[in-house]
Chains A and B, each alone.
Chain A
Protein backbone atom coordinates (compact mmCIF):
# COMPACT_ATOMS: atom_id res chain seq x y z
CA UNK A 1 0.00 0.00 0.00
CA UNK A 2 1.28 3.50 -0.76
CA UNK A 3 1.81 5.69 2.32
CA UNK A 4 -0.48 8.59 3.24
CA UNK A 5 1.21 11.99 3.23
CA UNK A 6 0.85 12.38 6.98
CA UNK A 7 2.46 9.00 7.78
CA UNK A 8 5.99 8.87 9.16
CA UNK A 9 8.27 6.42 7.35
CA UNK A 10 10.96 4.72 9.37
CA UNK A 11 13.52 2.08 8.39
CA UNK A 12 12.29 -1.33 9.54
CA UNK A 13 14.27 -3.29 12.14
CA UNK A 14 17.40 -4.78 10.60
CA UNK A 15 17.38 -2.30 7.71
CA UNK A 16 20.19 0.25 7.76
CA UNK A 17 22.78 1.92 5.62
CA UNK A 18 26.02 -0.03 5.35
CA UNK A 19 28.93 1.19 7.47
CA UNK A 20 31.52 -0.38 5.15
CA UNK A 21 33.97 2.09 3.61
CA UNK A 22 32.77 3.21 0.18
CA UNK A 23 29.45 1.41 0.67
CA UNK A 24 27.55 3.93 2.77
CA UNK A 25 24.94 4.41 0.04
CA UNK A 26 24.00 0.72 0.28
CA UNK A 27 20.79 -0.10 2.12
CA UNK A 28 21.35 -3.36 3.98
CA UNK A 29 18.41 -5.67 4.56
CA UNK A 30 18.12 -9.28 5.70
CA UNK A 31 19.72 -11.38 2.96
CA UNK A 32 19.80 -8.50 0.50
CA UNK A 33 21.22 -5.08 -0.23
CA UNK A 34 20.13 -2.19 -2.40
CA UNK A 35 22.43 0.39 -4.00
CA UNK A 36 20.85 3.80 -3.55
CA UNK A 37 21.34 6.47 -6.15
CA UNK A 38 21.03 10.24 -5.76
CA UNK A 39 17.64 11.11 -4.26
CA UNK A 40 17.14 7.51 -3.01
CA UNK A 41 19.87 7.92 -0.43
CA UNK A 42 18.51 11.31 0.61
CA UNK A 43 15.01 9.88 1.07
CA UNK A 44 16.30 6.97 3.15
CA UNK A 45 18.26 9.34 5.38
CA UNK A 46 15.01 11.21 6.03
CA UNK A 47 13.06 8.07 7.02
CA UNK A 48 13.56 8.67 10.73
CA UNK A 49 10.07 8.01 12.05
CA UNK A 50 9.69 11.72 12.84
CA UNK A 51 9.32 13.39 9.47
CA UNK A 52 6.11 12.77 7.52
CA UNK A 53 5.99 11.81 3.86
CA UNK A 54 4.85 15.37 3.18
CA UNK A 55 7.95 16.72 5.00
CA UNK A 56 10.21 14.52 2.90
CA UNK A 57 8.45 15.62 -0.29
CA UNK A 58 8.95 19.28 0.65
CA UNK A 59 12.65 18.78 1.39
CA UNK A 60 13.25 16.97 -1.88
CA UNK A 61 11.25 19.54 -3.86
CA UNK A 62 13.53 22.20 -2.42
CA UNK A 63 16.64 20.15 -3.20
CA UNK A 64 15.54 19.62 -6.80
CA UNK A 65 13.86 22.91 -7.75
CA UNK A 66 14.21 22.16 -11.46
CA UNK A 67 12.08 18.98 -11.14
CA UNK A 68 8.31 19.11 -11.47
CA UNK A 69 6.86 19.26 -7.93
CA UNK A 70 4.07 16.73 -8.54
CA UNK A 71 6.52 14.36 -10.16
CA UNK A 72 8.79 14.53 -7.10
CA UNK A 73 5.89 13.62 -4.82
CA UNK A 74 4.77 10.77 -7.07
CA UNK A 75 8.29 9.34 -7.25
CA UNK A 76 8.81 9.53 -3.48
CA UNK A 77 5.48 7.84 -2.72
CA UNK A 78 6.25 5.13 -5.27
CA UNK A 79 9.78 4.60 -3.87
CA UNK A 80 8.47 4.32 -0.30
CA UNK A 81 5.77 1.89 -1.38
CA UNK A 82 8.36 -0.34 -3.05
CA UNK A 83 10.50 -0.32 0.09
CA UNK A 84 7.45 -1.01 2.24
CA UNK A 85 6.55 -4.00 0.09
CA UNK A 86 10.10 -5.26 0.62
CA UNK A 87 9.56 -4.81 4.37
CA UNK A 88 12.40 -2.28 4.50
CA UNK A 89 10.30 0.71 5.59
CA UNK A 90 7.45 0.94 8.10
CA UNK A 91 4.85 3.72 8.09
CA UNK A 92 4.06 5.04 11.53
Chain B
Protein backbone atom coordinates (compact mmCIF):
# COMPACT_ATOMS: atom_id res chain seq x y z
CA UNK B 1 0.00 0.00 0.00
CA UNK B 2 1.37 3.39 -0.94
CA UNK B 3 1.15 5.94 1.83
CA UNK B 4 0.54 9.59 1.23
CA UNK B 5 1.79 12.34 3.52
CA UNK B 6 -0.92 14.24 5.37
CA UNK B 7 -0.20 17.88 4.56
CA UNK B 8 -3.05 19.73 6.22
CA UNK B 9 -6.03 19.26 8.48
CA UNK B 10 -9.28 21.15 8.07
CA UNK B 11 -10.93 21.42 11.47
CA UNK B 12 -14.62 22.26 11.27
CA UNK B 13 -14.80 23.10 14.94
CA UNK B 14 -18.54 23.89 14.97
CA UNK B 15 -21.51 24.10 12.65
CA UNK B 16 -22.98 26.97 14.65
CA UNK B 17 -22.89 30.26 12.74
CA UNK B 18 -24.55 33.66 13.03
CA UNK B 19 -24.71 33.88 9.23
CA UNK B 20 -27.12 32.00 6.98
CA UNK B 21 -25.32 32.24 3.63
CA UNK B 22 -27.27 30.86 0.70
CA UNK B 23 -24.15 29.05 -0.61
CA UNK B 24 -22.76 27.68 2.66
CA UNK B 25 -20.73 24.54 1.99
CA UNK B 26 -21.76 22.91 5.26
CA UNK B 27 -23.98 19.84 4.93
CA UNK B 28 -27.74 20.25 5.09
CA UNK B 29 -27.77 18.03 8.18
CA UNK B 30 -25.55 19.64 10.76
CA UNK B 31 -23.98 18.61 14.04
CA UNK B 32 -25.44 20.13 17.18
CA UNK B 33 -23.48 21.85 19.93
CA UNK B 34 -24.01 18.76 22.12
CA UNK B 35 -22.14 16.61 19.61
CA UNK B 36 -19.12 18.93 19.27
CA UNK B 37 -15.66 17.70 20.22
CA UNK B 38 -14.22 19.05 23.46
CA UNK B 39 -11.17 21.31 23.67
CA UNK B 40 -9.06 18.33 24.69
CA UNK B 41 -10.28 16.24 21.75
CA UNK B 42 -9.24 18.94 19.30
CA UNK B 43 -5.87 19.50 20.95
CA UNK B 44 -5.21 15.78 20.62
CA UNK B 45 -6.10 15.91 16.90
CA UNK B 46 -3.68 18.82 16.37
CA UNK B 47 -0.89 17.11 18.29
CA UNK B 48 -1.29 13.90 16.30
CA UNK B 49 -1.44 15.83 13.01
CA UNK B 50 1.78 17.66 13.90
CA UNK B 51 3.50 14.37 14.72
CA UNK B 52 2.36 12.93 11.37
CA UNK B 53 4.15 15.80 9.62
CA UNK B 54 1.15 17.97 8.72
CA UNK B 55 2.16 21.58 8.09
CA UNK B 56 -1.10 23.51 7.99
CA UNK B 57 -4.30 23.70 9.95
CA UNK B 58 -7.45 25.44 8.76
CA UNK B 59 -9.79 26.25 11.61
CA UNK B 60 -13.21 26.70 10.09
CA UNK B 61 -16.88 25.97 10.72
CA UNK B 62 -19.64 27.14 10.87
CA UNK B 63 -18.18 30.14 12.59
CA UNK B 64 -15.16 29.12 14.69
CA UNK B 65 -15.62 32.21 16.88
CA UNK B 66 -18.81 30.57 18.19
CA UNK B 67 -16.50 28.42 20.30
CA UNK B 68 -15.38 30.10 23.51
CA UNK B 69 -12.17 28.02 23.52
CA UNK B 70 -10.92 29.22 20.12
CA UNK B 71 -7.85 30.94 21.57
CA UNK B 72 -6.87 27.71 23.35
CA UNK B 73 -7.31 25.78 20.11
CA UNK B 74 -5.00 28.19 18.26
CA UNK B 75 -2.38 28.01 21.02
CA UNK B 76 -2.55 24.20 21.02
CA UNK B 77 -2.17 24.07 17.25
CA UNK B 78 0.92 26.28 17.36
CA UNK B 79 2.33 24.09 20.11
CA UNK B 80 1.83 21.16 17.73
CA UNK B 81 4.03 23.11 15.24
CA UNK B 82 1.23 23.76 12.77
CA UNK B 83 0.70 26.89 10.68
CA UNK B 84 -2.69 28.15 11.78
CA UNK B 85 -5.29 29.65 9.42
CA UNK B 86 -8.61 30.97 10.74
CA UNK B 87 -11.48 31.02 8.24
CA UNK B 88 -14.11 33.34 9.63
CA UNK B 89 -17.05 35.62 9.01
CA UNK B 90 -15.64 37.88 11.72
CA UNK B 91 -18.90 37.95 13.62
CA UNK B 92 -18.00 37.42 17.27
CA UNK B 93 -14.58 39.05 16.98
CA UNK B 94 -13.52 42.24 18.73
CA UNK B 95 -10.13 43.89 19.29
CA UNK B 96 -9.45 42.14 22.60
CA UNK B 97 -10.28 38.73 21.17
CA UNK B 98 -8.28 39.45 18.03
CA UNK B 99 -5.23 40.35 20.12
CA UNK B 100 -5.64 37.20 22.21
CA UNK B 101 -5.77 35.07 19.05
CA UNK B 102 -2.62 36.71 17.68
CA UNK B 103 -0.91 36.32 21.04
CA UNK B 104 -1.80 32.60 20.88
CA UNK B 105 0.06 32.43 17.55
CA UNK B 106 -2.58 32.72 14.86
CA UNK B 107 -0.74 33.05 11.52
CA UNK B 108 -3.45 33.99 9.06
CA UNK B 109 -7.00 35.30 9.08
CA UNK B 110 -9.33 34.81 6.15
CA UNK B 111 -12.30 37.11 6.45
CA UNK B 112 -15.30 36.47 4.22
CA UNK B 113 -17.28 39.11 2.36
CA UNK B 114 -20.58 38.56 0.55
CA UNK B 115 -20.57 41.70 -1.62
CA UNK B 116 -19.13 45.20 -1.92
CA UNK B 117 -22.52 46.73 -1.10
CA UNK B 118 -24.15 46.41 2.28
CA UNK B 119 -27.73 45.59 1.27
CA UNK B 120 -26.99 42.68 -1.06
CA UNK B 121 -24.19 41.44 1.23
CA UNK B 122 -26.68 41.20 4.08
CA UNK B 123 -29.23 39.62 1.80
CA UNK B 124 -26.88 36.77 0.79
CA UNK B 125 -25.74 36.26 4.39
CA UNK B 126 -29.29 36.38 5.73
CA UNK B 127 -28.15 38.75 8.47
CA UNK B 128 -26.60 42.17 9.02
CA UNK B 129 -22.92 41.31 9.03
CA UNK B 130 -21.36 43.56 6.38
CA UNK B 131 -20.74 46.64 8.55
CA UNK B 132 -19.16 44.49 11.27
CA UNK B 133 -16.76 43.03 8.71
CA UNK B 134 -15.71 46.46 7.44
CA UNK B 135 -14.82 47.58 10.96
CA UNK B 136 -12.94 44.36 11.65
CA UNK B 137 -10.96 44.53 8.42
CA UNK B 138 -9.42 47.81 9.55
CA UNK B 139 -8.46 46.29 12.91
CA UNK B 140 -6.90 43.24 11.23
CA UNK B 141 -4.99 45.39 8.70
CA UNK B 142 -3.40 47.40 11.48
CA UNK B 143 -1.92 44.29 13.13
CA UNK B 144 0.93 41.98 12.12
CA UNK B 145 -0.93 38.97 10.77
CA UNK B 146 -1.50 37.62 7.27
CA UNK B 147 -4.87 38.86 6.07
CA UNK B 148 -6.95 37.43 3.25
CA UNK B 149 -10.25 38.87 2.11
CA UNK B 150 -12.45 36.15 0.67
CA UNK B 151 -15.22 37.32 -1.62
CA UNK B 152 -17.73 34.74 -2.76
CA UNK B 153 -19.09 35.57 -6.20
CA UNK B 154 -22.10 34.32 -8.14
CA UNK B 155 -24.80 35.37 -10.57
CA UNK B 156 -26.33 37.96 -8.27
CA UNK B 157 -23.13 39.88 -7.43
CA UNK B 158 -20.67 39.15 -10.24
CA UNK B 159 -21.59 42.37 -12.02
CA UNK B 160 -20.10 44.20 -9.02
CA UNK B 161 -16.70 42.47 -9.22
CA UNK B 162 -14.99 45.79 -9.98
CA UNK B 163 -16.50 47.24 -6.80
CA UNK B 164 -15.47 44.14 -4.81
CA UNK B 165 -11.87 44.55 -5.95
CA UNK B 166 -12.05 48.29 -5.14
CA UNK B 167 -13.27 47.43 -1.63
CA UNK B 168 -10.34 45.04 -1.24
CA UNK B 169 -7.92 47.79 -2.24
CA UNK B 170 -9.46 49.99 0.41
CA UNK B 171 -9.28 47.31 3.14
CA UNK B 172 -5.74 46.38 2.04
CA UNK B 173 -5.50 42.63 2.71
CA UNK B 174 -2.37 40.80 1.52
CA UNK B 175 -4.51 38.42 -0.48
CA UNK B 176 -7.90 38.60 -2.12
CA UNK B 177 -9.69 35.39 -2.95
CA UNK B 178 -12.38 35.79 -5.55
CA UNK B 179 -14.16 32.49 -5.18
CA UNK B 180 -17.01 31.47 -7.41
CA UNK B 181 -19.56 29.44 -5.46
CA UNK B 182 -18.95 25.70 -5.49
CA UNK B 183 -22.12 23.66 -5.69
CA UNK B 184 -22.22 21.71 -2.44
CA UNK B 185 -24.31 21.95 0.69
CA UNK B 186 -26.71 24.90 0.70
CA UNK B 187 -25.57 26.08 -2.73
CA UNK B 188 -27.28 23.10 -4.35
CA UNK B 189 -30.88 24.16 -3.63
CA UNK B 190 -29.92 27.73 -4.69
CA UNK B 191 -27.95 26.63 -7.72
CA UNK B 192 -29.96 28.21 -10.50
CA UNK B 193 -30.07 31.57 -8.76
CA UNK B 194 -26.29 31.44 -8.14
CA UNK B 195 -24.75 30.04 -11.32
CA UNK B 196 -23.48 32.91 -13.47
CA UNK B 197 -24.07 33.15 -17.18
CA UNK B 198 -21.17 32.33 -19.47
CA UNK B 199 -20.95 36.00 -20.38
CA UNK B 200 -20.71 37.01 -16.71
CA UNK B 201 -18.05 34.39 -16.10
CA UNK B 202 -15.94 35.53 -19.07
CA UNK B 203 -16.14 39.13 -17.88
CA UNK B 204 -15.05 38.10 -14.39
CA UNK B 205 -11.99 36.34 -15.79
CA UNK B 206 -11.00 39.49 -17.66
CA UNK B 207 -11.55 41.76 -14.67
CA UNK B 208 -9.43 39.54 -12.42
CA UNK B 209 -6.61 39.36 -14.99
CA UNK B 210 -6.52 43.14 -15.34
CA UNK B 211 -6.56 43.66 -11.57
CA UNK B 212 -3.81 41.07 -11.06
CA UNK B 213 -1.50 42.92 -13.41
CA UNK B 214 -2.27 46.25 -11.81
CA UNK B 215 -1.89 45.07 -8.19
CA UNK B 216 1.15 42.81 -8.58
CA UNK B 217 3.37 42.95 -5.49
CA UNK B 218 0.66 44.81 -3.59
CA UNK B 219 -2.17 42.32 -3.29
CA UNK B 220 -2.22 38.74 -4.48
CA UNK B 221 -5.47 37.70 -6.16
CA UNK B 222 -6.54 34.07 -6.13
CA UNK B 223 -9.40 33.12 -8.41
CA UNK B 224 -11.61 30.05 -8.13
CA UNK B 225 -13.79 29.50 -11.20
CA UNK B 226 -16.99 27.46 -11.20
CA UNK B 227 -16.12 23.96 -12.37
CA UNK B 228 -19.48 23.56 -14.15
CA UNK B 229 -18.01 25.77 -16.90
CA UNK B 230 -14.68 23.94 -17.00
CA UNK B 231 -13.43 21.46 -19.53
CA UNK B 232 -11.85 19.27 -16.85
CA UNK B 233 -12.83 18.77 -13.21
CA UNK B 234 -10.95 20.24 -10.27
CA UNK B 235 -8.50 18.08 -8.34
CA UNK B 236 -10.85 18.06 -5.38
CA UNK B 237 -8.89 18.18 -2.08
CA UNK B 238 -5.75 17.42 -4.12
CA UNK B 239 -7.12 13.90 -4.57
CA UNK B 240 -9.13 11.75 -2.17
CA UNK B 241 -6.98 10.93 0.86
CA UNK B 242 -3.82 12.24 -0.77
CA UNK B 243 -3.14 15.45 1.12
CA UNK B 244 -5.98 16.61 3.31
CA UNK B 245 -8.19 15.44 6.11
CA UNK B 246 -11.33 17.19 7.25
CA UNK B 247 -12.63 16.62 10.76
CA UNK B 248 -16.30 17.45 11.37
CA UNK B 249 -17.51 19.18 14.57
CA UNK B 250 -18.42 15.75 15.97
CA UNK B 251 -15.04 14.23 15.11
CA UNK B 252 -15.69 12.26 11.93
CA UNK B 253 -12.60 12.14 9.70
CA UNK B 254 -13.54 12.81 6.09
CA UNK B 255 -11.57 13.02 2.85
CA UNK B 256 -13.77 15.87 1.50
CA UNK B 257 -16.08 18.57 2.91
CA UNK B 258 -19.14 17.11 1.26
CA UNK B 259 -18.36 13.41 1.67
CA UNK B 260 -21.30 13.06 4.06
CA UNK B 261 -23.67 13.11 1.06
CA UNK B 262 -22.36 9.76 -0.17
CA UNK B 263 -24.83 7.13 1.03
CA UNK B 264 -23.61 4.03 2.84
CA UNK B 265 -20.29 5.63 3.68
CA UNK B 266 -19.17 5.39 7.26
CA UNK B 267 -16.74 7.90 8.71
CA UNK B 268 -14.74 6.79 11.72
CA UNK B 269 -14.18 9.24 14.54
CA UNK B 270 -11.12 10.85 16.08
CA UNK B 271 -12.63 9.96 19.45
CA UNK B 272 -12.34 6.22 18.83
CA UNK B 273 -9.30 6.03 16.56
CA UNK B 274 -5.82 7.50 16.25
CA UNK B 275 -5.41 10.01 13.42
CA UNK B 276 -2.71 7.86 11.80
CA UNK B 277 -5.09 4.91 11.51
CA UNK B 278 -7.88 7.14 10.18
CA UNK B 279 -5.54 8.53 7.54
CA UNK B 280 -3.80 5.34 6.49
CA UNK B 281 -6.31 2.60 7.08
CA UNK B 282 -9.87 3.75 7.70
CA UNK B 283 -12.24 2.45 5.00
CA UNK B 284 -13.47 5.97 4.12
CA UNK B 285 -9.97 7.15 3.17
CA UNK B 286 -9.21 3.93 1.27
CA UNK B 287 -12.44 3.96 -0.69
CA UNK B 288 -11.43 6.35 -3.51
CA UNK B 289 -7.73 6.70 -2.83
CA UNK B 290 -5.44 5.90 -5.76
CA UNK B 291 -6.83 4.61 -9.04
CA UNK B 292 -8.36 1.20 -8.26
CA UNK B 293 -11.91 2.57 -8.15
CA UNK B 294 -11.73 4.56 -11.39
CA UNK B 295 -14.24 3.93 -14.18
CA UNK B 296 -13.63 4.65 -17.85
CA UNK B 297 -12.84 7.21 -19.21
CA UNK B 298 -10.71 8.08 -16.11
CA UNK B 299 -8.93 4.74 -16.01
CA UNK B 300 -7.21 5.25 -19.35
CA UNK B 301 -6.97 9.05 -19.20
CA UNK B 302 -3.66 10.89 -18.94
CA UNK B 303 -5.27 13.49 -16.69
CA UNK B 304 -6.08 10.93 -13.98
CA UNK B 305 -2.86 11.91 -12.18
CA UNK B 306 -3.77 15.61 -12.39
CA UNK B 307 -7.41 15.71 -11.33
CA UNK B 308 -7.86 12.19 -9.91
CA UNK B 309 -11.26 11.89 -11.60
CA UNK B 310 -12.58 15.06 -9.96
CA UNK B 311 -14.84 15.23 -6.93
CA UNK B 312 -16.57 12.09 -5.63
CA UNK B 313 -19.27 14.08 -3.86
CA UNK B 314 -20.06 16.04 -7.01
CA UNK B 315 -20.27 12.75 -8.94
CA UNK B 316 -22.85 11.58 -6.40
CA UNK B 317 -24.77 14.86 -6.48
CA UNK B 318 -24.92 15.11 -10.28
CA UNK B 319 -24.65 11.53 -11.57
CA UNK B 320 -26.09 9.71 -8.57
CA UNK B 321 -22.93 7.60 -8.32
CA UNK B 322 -19.90 8.55 -6.21
CA UNK B 323 -17.67 6.28 -8.32
CA UNK B 324 -18.57 7.98 -11.61
CA UNK B 325 -16.28 10.39 -13.48
CA UNK B 326 -17.00 13.90 -12.14
CA UNK B 327 -19.80 15.11 -14.47
CA UNK B 328 -18.11 18.52 -14.81
CA UNK B 329 -15.49 16.75 -16.97
CA UNK B 330 -16.11 17.21 -20.69
CA UNK B 331 -15.26 13.51 -21.14
CA UNK B 332 -17.69 12.27 -18.48
CA UNK B 333 -20.65 10.12 -19.56
CA UNK B 334 -22.86 12.27 -17.27
CA UNK B 335 -21.67 15.62 -18.66
CA UNK B 336 -25.10 16.21 -20.32
CA UNK B 337 -26.52 16.73 -16.79
CA UNK B 338 -24.21 19.72 -16.33
CA UNK B 339 -24.80 21.00 -19.85
CA UNK B 340 -28.56 20.93 -19.26
CA UNK B 341 -28.17 23.02 -16.10
CA UNK B 342 -25.93 25.51 -17.94
CA UNK B 343 -28.37 25.71 -20.85
CA UNK B 344 -31.20 26.57 -18.46
CA UNK B 345 -29.11 29.13 -16.60
CA UNK B 346 -27.97 30.81 -19.82
CA UNK B 347 -31.46 30.94 -21.33
CA UNK B 348 -32.81 33.03 -18.43
CA UNK B 349 -31.91 36.69 -18.82
CA UNK B 350 -29.67 38.08 -16.10
CA UNK B 351 -31.61 39.13 -13.04
CA UNK B 352 -32.50 42.79 -13.40
CA UNK B 353 -30.97 44.45 -10.35
CA UNK B 354 -33.25 45.02 -7.39
CA UNK B 355 -36.47 44.10 -9.18
CA UNK B 356 -36.79 40.37 -8.60
CA UNK B 357 -35.35 38.46 -5.70
CA UNK B 358 -34.76 34.73 -5.99
CA UNK B 359 -36.47 32.56 -3.41
CA UNK B 360 -33.30 31.90 -1.43
CA UNK B 361 -33.01 28.81 0.68
CA UNK B 362 -31.12 30.09 3.73
CA UNK B 363 -28.73 27.97 5.76
CA UNK B 364 -30.22 27.20 9.14
CA UNK B 365 -28.42 26.66 12.41
CA UNK B 366 -28.04 23.25 14.02
CA UNK B 367 -30.28 22.52 16.97
CA UNK B 368 -28.71 22.71 20.40
Contact = CB atoms under 8 A, between A and B. Distances in A.
A28 B219 CA distance: 18
Interface in B82-101: 82-83, 85
User: Which bracket fits the contact residues of B?
Assistant: 20 to 34
A19 B54 CA distance: 11
B145 A13 contact: yes
A54 interface: no
Nearest to B54: A20
B219 A87 contact: yes
A16 B107 CA distance: 9
Interface in B270-294: none
A14 B174 contact: yes
A86 interface: yes
B55 A18 contact: yes
Given A14-B174, A23-B55, A87-B174, A30 B107 contact: yes
Contacts of A26: 55
B217 A14 contact: no
Interface string A5-37: 000000011111011111100101111010000
Nearest to B174: A87
A18 B174 contact: no
A21 B81 contact: yes
Given A13-B174, A29-B146, A30-B148, A87 B220 contact: yes
Contacts of B147: 13-14
Nearest to A24: B81
B53 A28 contact: no
Contacts of B222: 31
Contacts of B107: 14, 16, 28, 30
A87 B175 contact: yes
A92 to B, nearest CB: 13
B144 interface: yes
Interface of B: 50, 53-56, 81-83, 85, 107-108, 110, 143-148, 174-175, 216-217, 219-220, 222
Given A14-B145, A20-B53, A20-B82, 8 more contacts: A13-B146, A15-B146, A20-B55, A30-B107, A30-B174, A30-B175, A31-B222, A87-B174
Interface of A: 1, 12-16, 18-23, 26, 28-31, 33, 84-87
